Amino acid sequence: MKLIKISGAIEVLNLMHSEIAPYLTEEFFIALGENKTLKYLNMNSKSGVNNSTNISLLAKAVAMNAKRNGSLEALSIAGWFKNLSSFEGYFVKSLLVSDKDHELWYGDKKQAQEMKKE
């Protein structure tokens, strides 16, 4: 996680078929969201990702990366979804991030608690 957070050189991260997704922590996704150089992320999975939390966190990280002017251009997550409802219900909805969400991940948590979610 620290490498993703501090590296100014990572442009490609290929985790294809590593089946690591269920073990990734929120810290990983926070680092992914603030990485400025990552252009391509491949997290294709053979077995699928049955963890709705990590599906939501990945979407949130992608949205945060865009909000923070990151370089992410391509994301491959083939095999993550067993059905369309998990894609829509967890991934798509989590792409909508608010200023409060941003403050919770990258700012002052106390200030974030006082904010209203937009």
pLDDT for 105: 94
| Number of domains making up the chain | 1
For residue 9, how many other CB atoms are within 10 A of its CB? 7
Question: Is 65 contained in some domain?
Answer: yes
pLDDT for 7: 67
pLDDT for 56: 95
pLDDT for 39: 96
Question: Is 56 contained in some domain?
Answer: yes
Question: Is 4 contained in some domain?
Answer: no
Question: Is 19 contained in some domain?
Answer: yes
Question: Is 3 contained in some domain?
Answer: no
pLDDT for 83: 83
Question: Is 67 contained in some domain?
Answer: yes
Question: Is 1 contained in some domain?
Answer: no
The model's pTM: 0.87
Domain hosting 96: range is 10-114
Closest by Cα among 5, 32, 34 to 20: 32
Question: Is 2 contained in some domain?
Answer: no
In this structure, which amino acid lies at residue 46? K
pLDDT for 3: 63
Angstrom distance (rounded) from CA 7 to CA 21 = 21
pLDDT for 1: 56
Closest by Cα among 53, 51, 58 to 15: 58
10-residue stretch averages of pLDDT, the chain, 118 residues long: 67 91 91 94 86 93 96 94 88 94 88 74
